[in-house]
Amino acid sequence: MDDIFIQPELGPSEEPSENESSLDPDSDNDFEAASIKSTRSCSTENLQPTLENGRRYADDSYFMPNDESELTRLNIVHQIYLILLDGNLTTAPLNTPRPRILDIGTGPGDWAIEMSAKHPTAEIIASDLGVFDSGLGHLSLPNVDFQLADAQSQWTYHEPFDLIHIRGLSGAFNDWHNIYTQALSHLKPGGYIEVADVDPAGDTITMPSDLETSHLRTYAAALRAAADEAGYPRDLKHLATTALSEAGFVDVRVQERSIPIGLWPEDVREKTLGKMGLIVLLEGLEAYALRTLTRSGRWSLDEATELCEKVRGECVSATGLVARVRIVTGKKPVSFAQRREEVMARTMARIKALNADGLEEK
Ligand SMILES: C[S@@+](CC[C@H](N)C(=O)[O-])C[C@H]1O[C@@H](n2cnc3c(N)ncnc32)[C@H](O)[C@@H]1O
């Protein structure tokens, strides 16, 4: 395996300083003295991928595989996002001349690499707990650092970012509030977070009415139950506006896009998306399910693969399946005053809504 950059372990004498461990959301001085150069090279030989149910996983914790099939699937997912966003890589504003960007759970790195081409002056950290063997993370690019880091641990980046991007991480974290709080601390005032997800376990796939009692529903419910039991929810609550605002983000905005799944759409763009969506779903059924279901102890491998097979048959022939993608952005307040204004505005809106409800009742 190639060498990539890894975040330094914090030894006893390297405990984060008070500034690092309790970063002030309103100050951008915390990072001034330190620099990204404190990362060091480390061999990926320390990684211990595991083989399970015929799939390769980066480690023993995360539920999705990181083998060739998953790599190809994620490449297609990336292309789908590009179509949905009209060729754009993000919905967040990026107005600084030399933006610092962090991609958490970068996977094969398609997003980070395209971002680096689109913003050659940007400095990008693409971080993940594992490496895809033939992923683009092995390319050496002047403005992208691939780093190994578990985002659930304490973040040790030494300079704040203009944009933090988190895509496709449903089910990866047991505490999203912790992730958002750390992200807020590691953004510059006025910097943005963008979180995007679509997960069949999160009921993001709308079925035509004749599929109301479908294998797909059984599949989604089983995944949610097993994930809840493991403490890594797949309910997509992390995409609620309140999840970001409770962590201190302001200007929280949500956008939704639809991906048709299947060959049924007539419009050319939709048909292309439909084919891509179908491949991604069919290829993803086992990837999403095998580790989650078999580890819950309630499903044998045979039962889990049989369920996936039934869902596959159903989805191939269904007309009208649509997956809903949710993209949420939030801004780190520029100042305490802005944060206070935002809280006041939200409170006033709530009071207005309550008053309106009261009037209607009368
Ligand atoms: C479904 S992939 C999405 C990859 C990429 N964001 C994309 O949109 O193509 C999820 C990625 O998150 C990584 N991941 C999962 N848990 C993580 C964690 N705790 N810290 C860092 N990365 C994590 C996985 O290794 C995997 O590469």
* CATH code, domain with 189: 3.40.50.150
Query: Both 245 and 352 in a single domain?
Result: no
Is residue 159 located within the same domain as residue 82?
yes
Atom 23 of ligand 1, nearest CA residue:
105
Are 314 and 342 in the same domain? no
Strands 55-57 and 161-167: unpaired
Gap from CA of 168 to ligand 1 centroid (Å): 7
Cα–ligand 1 centroid distance for 358 (angstroms): 46
Distances (CA, A) of 259 to 111, 239, 273, 276, 321: 19, 18, 6, 9, 9
Is the separation of the CB atoms in 152 and 4 below 8 Å? no
The crossing angle, in degrees rounded to 10, of helices 110-118 and 68-84 is 40
**Ligand 1 pocket, residue 166 CB under 6 Å:** no
Residue-level pLDDT, tens digit, the chain, 362 residues:
333 433 333 333 333 332 233 333 334 333 333 323 323 334 566 678 899 999 999 999 999 999 999 999 999 999 999 999 999 999 999 989 999 999 999 999 999 999 999 999 999 999 999 998 776 655 678 999 999 999 999 999 999 999 999 999 999 999 999 999 999 999 999 999 999 999 989 878 887 766 667 899 999 999 999 999 999 999 899 999 999 999 999 999 999 999 999 999 999 999 999 999 999 999 999 999 999 999 987 899 999 999 999 999 999 988 999 999 999 999 999 977 777 777 787 788 888 888 887 766 55
Contacts of 338 (CB under 8 A, 6+ apart): 250
Nearest CA to ligand 1 atom 4: 107
Among residues 125, 95, 98, 105, the alpha carbon closest in space to that of 113 is found at 125
Check pocket membership of 89 for ligand 1, CB cut-off 6 A: no
Atom 3 in ligand 1: residue holding the nearest Cα = 168
Same domain as 353, residue 207: no
Ligand 1 pocket, 195 CB below 6 A?
A: no
Same domain (yes/no): 348, 256: no
131 & 83 share domain: yes
Return all residues near 312 (Cβ < 8 A) that are at least 6 apart.
Answer: 282, 285
Does residue 203 share a domain with residue 341? no
Residues 87 and 111 in one domain: yes
Q: Is 135 in the pocket of ligand 1 (CB under 6 A)?
A: no
My answer on whether 347 and 280 are in the same domain is: no
- Structural domain of residue 285, as residue ranges? 3-331
Residues 327 and 342 in one domain: no
Task: Tell the residue nearest (CA) to atom 15 of ligand 1.
Answer: 172
172 touches ligand 1 (CB under 6 Å): yes
Q: Please tell me the pTM assigned to this model.
A: 0.84
- Domain match, 273 and 168 both: yes
Distance 131 CA to ligand 1 centre (A): 10
- The number of distinct structural domains making up the chain is 2
CA of 106 to the centre of ligand 1 (A): 6
